[in-house]
Amino acid sequence: MDASRRRLLLALSVAAGGGALTGGGVSALLTDRGVTSASLATGTVDLSVEYWLDVADGVDLAAPDGVVDGPRIAVPAPTLETDGSATTLLRFALPQGTVPNNPAALWLRSDCPTGTTLGELLQVRLSYADAEGTPLATIESGSLRAVANALREGVRLLADGADGCLATELFVLVEYDLAGYVGTESTSLPLFVTAVQCRNGDPTVDPFDDATVPECEPGYDCTCDWLIGKVEVDDPLVVGRTYDFDEGLSNYAIRVTDTDGTDGVAFELVTTDGSAPLPLSSVLVKGGPDEQRYSRRDGFGFETTDLDGATAGLVYPPLHPNNGSQPAISYVVVGVCVPTDATGDCPEDLVQSAASVDNSGRGGRR
C-alpha cells in the first residue's frame, strides 16, 4: 500500500434478537462483533475515529463513547427495537501534533453484508452531520444491502477544506430503522475508510478503483411460508387499484396489475407505510369450493409473475370439481418469506384458509 494511505475498517454488525413475532418485542442489537483486520502503512496521514451513540439527547465532544485509532476499528451502535430507530455519530479527524498532519481526501467503500432478511429490512442512512449530530446532506440511504451496493466501488466523503479535503474533522451520522422484521438473524456492513494525501495526488481519483466487489445479491430467508393477509373479493378487481388486507397485517396490500374478467388476477405485493415488503412465498386463490396454491419460483419477487404456475402473471381459482367451469375469485390469501424465530419455529399464520383442500405446509418450513 502507498505510504500516504491508511486504510481502516469500520465494522457495523447487526444481530436481531427473538421476541413477539408480530409486535414490538423483536429487537436488533448493533454491536462490535465481527471485527476485521485491514492493512496499515506508516505515513504522514494519521486518521482517528471517535463515536457517540444515540445522539438525540446531545453530544459531548469532550466525552465520546469510544475512540479508535489503528487498523482494527469496530464501532458499536445502540439497541434497536422493532419499528424503532437509533443513531451513531462518527468523527473522522486528522490530529495536529508537533508534526502537522497533511490534508487528506477521505474515501468510503463497503463490502456486501451477509445475506439475510434482516439486511433487506434494516434501513440505513449515512449523512454528513454537524458537531451536534444534526443530519445534513445524505451520503447514501436505503436497505443495508442497497447501501452496501451503492458504496461497494468507493464514494468520496467531502469535507470543508480546500477541494473538499479534510483538514481537521468531519462528522458522519449513521441512522438505523427497523420495521416489520420477523426472525432471528445477524448481518454486518463492513465500511473501509481510506485517507489519501491531497497535496501529493489527485483527491478525486478513487483509491478503490481496483476493488472487485460484486453486486450484493438479495438475501431473504424463505424457510417459512407465513400467511399474512387476505383480500375478500366482492366486486370485480380493478387494474391499478390497491386493496388493503381485510385480515392480517394492516400495513400490507395488493396492487392489481392485470385481470382476466372476474376469474384471474395479477398483482404486486406492497406496503402502505413506506416500509420494505417481504417477498412472496405463496398465493392462495379461492373460487367455488376450493382454492389453488401458487408457490414462488427460485429467487425472490413481489409480483404474481414470480409465482410458479401463473399464466402471464395471472392466478386463478381451481376449476369447479362438479362441472369444470372457472369460478370467479372469492378471496386471495398472501404468504411471504420469513426465517424461523429464536426457537427454530415458524410464525403462526395471521389468516386461515376456509377451502376444503389439504393445507399442509402453511405457516411451516418450505
Q: List pLDDT tens digits, range 343-360.
A: 889 999 999 876 534 443
Phi/psi for 176 (5° steps) reads: -125, 140
User: What was the pLDDT predicted at 186?
Assistant: 73
Contact 5, 195 (CB under 8 A): yes
Q: List pLDDT tens digits, range 321-345.
A: 889 999 999 999 999 999 988 788 9
Q: Give residue 53's Cα distance to chain centre.
A: 21
Q: List pLDDT tens digits, range 86-135.
A: 888 999 888 766 566 778 888 888 888 888 888 898 889 999 999 999 99
Contacts of residue 328, Cβ cutoff 8 Å, sequence gap at least 6? 233, 261, 262, 263, 287, 317
User: How large is the average pLDDT for residues 229-247?
Assistant: 97
Distance in angstroms (rounded) separating the CA atoms of residues 210 and 192: 14
User: What was the pLDDT predicted at 45?
Assistant: 61
